[in-house]
Structure 1
């Protein structure tokens, strides 16, 4: 009887050790997927694809980028919110995707607290771009005058409801007292395609996704939406210089994991992302595209998201945005 007891005890200890070994296995143990909730070719897509190879090198695992566009980023974001919280399915999103968009939906598929913030990734200034050959708008002031003379006649595209692009347009309308025909898209790339095709008049977009078309001569910058001129676009005026409008707008992007991801996994991810994002190659690649690579602690990234959520609640109360 005593021998049977010790046999069972030994089996129990063995089972516990095996169980502990499985739960404590090294992270990551398989391919990491970076979900981009916008169409390929946009700012967030460019940032994710710039970071992915570096993250793969740091972690020793494959890193793939998967686009799940639609509903201003809600489709891809809700997909990650429902994913297994093991750190292998991550979201690359903006403060607006997480902390603005849910307040603009009557039945939001996720909430700001549906995620574990991991790290900031990059900050990208916004620009106001038109077709290179559009002679109606030699400068930003001409565009603004056209919009004011016939409210709603000038169309502007953006990357989706609740994006920083969208909110910047609302702020621009408020600051300039102009009214535009605002058209949402499933990311920056489709909006830019329609702009170059003549379907819309201008786009408010990140430098990161617009710069290839600016460099190729297809698009022209009327103004940058920042306090200072951008070093990569030294000949492009700020909104204050171009329109006399005070507006400072940029897109802050970062990495998030599903709520419930173990703290040790978040810590490991943060350390890996810091190395990947701070890599000189990644920094240089994004700098050329007009974006600044920047990592952070989970707490710093969470504070940015919380501040944006507070701003959204204020916009909702003022009627600037509303749930639809």
Structure 2
């Protein structure tokens, strides 16, 4: 687990990132792509210039600092030419917690041996919101969830890897939203209007326990604001209309696991609502019986998990499986 700090102008941030990445050039960063792949990313460039312009410029500046073809970074960070992860995501409003404070919980399911690639990113771009985000080793422009100084917390799970036209990947959309938006409503509007690539479900919450679930696919977007102060998503869409966009193979492969987890979540909430604590969440994520912790999900396992606390300046992070490792308290501001 490594802490990455960037701040200032786009040029300054590129210099900071390059200092972390220069040692990696000899070990395969950024990945090499064929000219055929490069021919495909032109349309993506046009989209990201419109919907994430600052991050596009940051990628180009980073490429200059590293003296590599910027298209390698664009292909790796901004397009579907990358790895596919699985996840669990839980939003818990303050009325269900012991201290009255909301929590956003993310379980990242990927290769367990990559637990060491966890990076905690602290960013304060000029004229942007300071934010804390989580990512893997190389894709330091990506955010697989995070929280900003306004108390806006965002994360997502993958629901479909079907895609058609160029759009904005979730890992880049989250970075953009954390830097630019103060409210759940602003983030929801952005997701509604941006062109989508892979299908995903986002949970967005604030320090007042507002929770929005945004199910996206390039064909449709479904927004649901929670009336119960609780949401749980994993592997598949919730909305029946959105499920129609999931391939039969994925649906059959994920259905039993998703149903088992959701059944356990409903039971767990009933048992603990009003008295939920991070310790109880930790114990929940260790359960193998209900498949909250799995050690072989299509070759994947839990590589890390975190608990964000909107409105507070600390989070809890577990590097590796929660059944084998402890959550540690970390600051979410530089």
Shorter-chain TM band: under 0.3
Q: Which has the higher contact order (CA 8 A, sep 6+)?
A: 1
Which has the larger Rg? Answer: 1
Q: What TM-score results when the alignment is normalised by the length of structure 1?
A: 0.25
Higher strand share: 2
Higher helix share: 1
